[in-house]
Amino acid sequence: MMTSIVGLVVCAVLVFALQRALVRLQLSRAKHRSLAGHSRMARRFASVVPFYEYDEAHFFRADAAPEPVAAARRAGFMRLAGVFRQRYAQTAELTEEMVADVSDLQFTSRYRVPFQFSRFVREHLRPGAFLASSSGVTVTDMDGNRFYDLTGSYGVNVFGYDFYKECIARGSERVRDLGPVLGAYHPVVAYNVRRLLEISGLEEVSFHMSGTEAVMQAVRLARYNTGRSHLVRFCGAYHGWWGDVQPGVGNPIAARETYTLKDLDPAALRVLGSRRDIACVLVNPLQALHPNVNAPGDSTLLDSGRRAHFDRAAYTAWLKELREVCTRRGIVLIFDEVFVGFRLAAGGAQQYFGVRADMVTYGKTVAGGLPVGVLCGLGKFMRRYREERPADVCFARGTFNAHPYVMGSMFEFLKRLEEQSIQEIYHRLDAVWNSRAGTLNERLAAAGLPVRVANLSSIWTICYVQASRYNWMFQYYLREAGLALSWVGTGRLIFSLNYSDEDFTAVSNALVAAATAMQADGWWWASPQLTNKSIRRNVLKEMIQARCLSPMGSMSSPRSK
Ligand SMILES: Cc1ncc(COP(=O)(O)O)c(C=O)c1O
């Protein structure tokens, strides 16, 4: 009798242990094999990458190109440096004066190109961080240079800067009598709420100061209302800078209640279908352009491995599967539309992909050019207190939420969204932007240039089709050709929807001219030995050497700022 009880207990323990092991294995299988899929490993790897940099000779021959090629690159670089010095003199000077005092400027100026090249580039090619004015699809710097704007102001600029200037001016006028009174609402809020509920198809709204805050609120409420601890995000997806949604590099501590799963993969669905601790799934539909990959920036352009391609049918099918498993398991499905909302369709990604979420975050453009975050959700997930347990509340309020000036500008934005002219823009959106990308790619291919573009509507990424260590140089040729990029360079070009065909042709001409100049200067020198794999291998070797043997041969040891 006694032995059979012991046997039963042992059996139960074994079954339990096996079950746990299986659940753990399921989670491991649902992680992307890249470092982006393994947050802890990525942070550990980042902490051991040593600083080293190329001296001047190695700077131009990091791919072991022949000396004449290096000489052509040097000549091209110094010519560009001369152009930058002259053309952007005042803008660069003002930036120089500020850089030591503004930590953000220090960061962005340092991380424009891979760190091995960064100091030399900073010394010679200073794009400047100031602008004096905007008009149409252009911005003008302190020296009077006009650029076609491809920064899109981080995605805020959907309809053109003049549109937002009007929203802000008219919105300010509308709320002027109340002024900056906080706590109570200005009556424009009533219209904003009604329109946001119509657009989102959801039941309640909360206002915040930024997209990051709206995401924080969404996750906090999902945890509170499901009683579960964990959030799921997909590999590579950006959801703002809050620690729980940024578990990898960039966050000094581990995010312990976050699962980072593979996008577009049945293994992730299996995890969602079996675990009991998942409160919500965060989806950033921008990842449809580059699933499982971090937002592209030129500082990580070590080789030409950057890939991007948008498959609308595949992504739609994926969202439908996610919807199904979330409904079945009582998991809150959150679409983070801070970036893509109002850019893909009037009803945002929900409308574009034909899938409904339980919560949706908006931000960037929705306050007509002023800072904001918005959360819309089903009532049952937005609740912040419990009738039956009055002391158990979910507290999240902010001083500036629903600021009258922000609400005024949002009112103007949402009103204008109803206009026929805006609706027409939305109707033609995919046809216009896909055809523009296609035409540009044909031109680039016909000219024998190793550059292509990939797009999700008006959000573009530049890809490189031939192995090279110098693709990051392209951003400087583009600037010389009159195109303004954000600090992530060719990783992200954002067009506003007021680009006419003529404007777009001018941008295409500039892009082709810039690539032609860069090619002529030898940066895209090719050899059969030079492959993405060989580049990565060499960089890894350099890192190992730098860790073991610093200072070494053609590289120098760390320098101070
Ligand atoms: C999808 C997404 N979510 C959240 C955020 C964070 O928004 P904010 O920068 O306003 O805090 C961003 C910002 O780029 C974003 O793209």
Find the 361 Cα to ligand 1 centroid distance in Å. Answer: 9
Q: Is residue 349 within 8 Å of 340, Cβ to Cβ?
A: yes
Angle, alpha carbons 372-381-333 (nearest 5°): 80
Q: Which atom of ligand 1 is nearest to the CA of 373?
A: 10
Q: Is residue 231 within 8 Å of 257, Cβ to Cβ?
A: yes
Closest CA to 326 of 357, 285, 290: 357
Instruction: Give CA torsion, residues 21, 27, 28, 30, to 10 deg.
Output: 150
Which residue's CA lies nearest to atom 8 of ligand 1?
A: 211
Q: Is residue 215 within 8 Å of 245, Cβ to Cβ?
A: yes
Phi-psi category of 136—alpha, beta or left, where left has phi over 0 and alpha has psi -120 to 50? left
CA dihedral for 385, 349, 363, 200, sign (positive or negative): negative
Angle, alpha carbons 205-206-212 (nearest 5°): 125
Which residue's CA lies nearest to atom 3 of ligand 1?
A: 239
Per-residue pLDDT, averaged over 17-40, amounts to 89
Q: How confident is the model at residue 13 (pLDDT cuts 50, 70, 90)?
A: confident
Angstrom CA distances, 313 to 65, 268, 354, 507, stand at 43, 19, 11, 29
To test the pocket of ligand 1, the residue of 238, 283, 456 to mutate (highest count of ligand atoms within 8 Å of its CB) is: 238
Q: Is the pLDDT of residue 553 over 60?
A: no
Find the 119 Cα to ligand 1 centroid distance in Å. Answer: 29
Instruction: Work out whether strand 359-363 and strand 373-377 pair parallel, antiparallel, or are unpaired.
Output: antiparallel
Q: What is the pLDDT of residue 554?
A: 47
HSE-up (13 A, CA, CB side) for residue 279:
18
Q: What is the pLDDT of residue 303?
A: 97
Ligand 1 pocket at CB < 6 A: 154, 210-212, 215, 238-240, 284, 336, 338-339, 363
Find the 117 Cα to ligand 1 centroid distance in Å. Answer: 29
Q: What is the pLDDT of residue 215?
A: 98
Q: Where are the alpha helices (DSSP H) in 55-158?
A: 56-59, 67-87, 89-99, 103-110, 115-124
Quick one: which H or E segment has residue 207?
A: strand 204-208
243's tokens: 């620690």
Q: What is the pLDDT of residue 540?
A: 95
Angstrom CA distances, 243 to 45, 215, 233, 240, stand at 18, 11, 12, 9
Q: Which atom of ligand 1 is nearest to the CA of 213?
A: 11
268's tokens: 């992730």
Q: Where are the alpha helices (DSSP H) in 494-556?
A: 501-520, 532-549
Q: Is residue 512 within 8 Å of 444, Cβ to Cβ?
A: yes
Quick one: which H or E segment has residue 43?
A: helix 39-48
Spatial CB neighbours of 118, under 8 Å, sequence gap ≥ 6 = 53, 110, 111, 112, 299
Q: Where are the alpha helices (DSSP H) in 152-285?
A: 161-175, 188-200, 211-226, 266-274
| DSSP secondary structure, 405-472, as one string | HHHHHHHHHHHHHTSHHHHHHHHHHHHHHHHHHHHHHHHHHHTT-SEEEEEETTEEEEEESS--S-GG
State pLDDT tens for residues 109-166.
999 999 999 999 999 998 899 999 999 999 999 999 999 999 999 999 999 999 999 9
Q: Is the pLDDT of residue 559 over 60?
A: no
Find the 304 Cα to ligand 1 centroid distance in Å. Answer: 27
Find the 239 Cα to ligand 1 centroid distance in Å. Answer: 5
Q: How confident is the model at residue 1 (pLDDT cuts 50, 70, 90)?
A: low
Q: What is the pLDDT of residue 557?
A: 42
HSE-up (13 A, CA, CB side) for residue 202:
30
Which residue's CA lies nearest to atom 12 of ligand 1?
A: 240
CA 61 to chain centre: 31
Q: Is residue 201 within 8 Å of 378, Cβ to Cβ?
A: no
373's tokens: 């975050």
d(CA 455, CA 310): 7
Residues of the chain with pLDDT > 70, as a percent, come to: 98
Read off the DSSP letter of residue 252: S
Q: Is residue 208 within 8 Å of 373, Cβ to Cβ?
A: yes
Find the 521 Cα to ligand 1 centroid distance in Å. Answer: 37
Q: Which atom of ligand 1 is nearest to the CA of 211?
A: 7
State pLDDT tens for residues 411-450.
999 999 999 999 999 999 999 999 999 999 999 999 999 9
State pLDDT tens for residues 56-100.
999 999 999 999 999 999 999 999 999 999 999 999 999 999 999
State pLDDT tens for residues 180-220.
999 999 999 999 999 999 999 999 999 999 999 999 999 99
Q: What is the pLDDT of residue 16?
A: 84
Residue linked to tokens 């195109």: 483
Read off the DSSP letter of residue 245: G
Find the 449 Cα to ligand 1 centroid distance in Å. Answer: 33
Find the 204 Cα to ligand 1 centroid distance in Å. Answer: 21
To test the pocket of ligand 1, the residue of 216, 338, 486 to mutate (highest count of ligand atoms within 8 Å of its CB) is: 338
To test the pocket of ligand 1, the residue of 153, 213, 215, 374 to mutate (highest count of ligand atoms within 8 Å of its CB) is: 215
Q: Which atom of ligand 1 is nearest to the CA of 155?
A: 14
335's tokens: 């679409």
d(CA 179, CA 169): 14
Helix/strand/coil percentages in the chain, nearest 5: 50, 15, 35
Q: Is the pLDDT of residue 560 over 60?
A: no
Find the 394 Cα to ligand 1 centroid distance in Å. Answer: 23
Closest CA to 356 of 334, 373, 339: 334
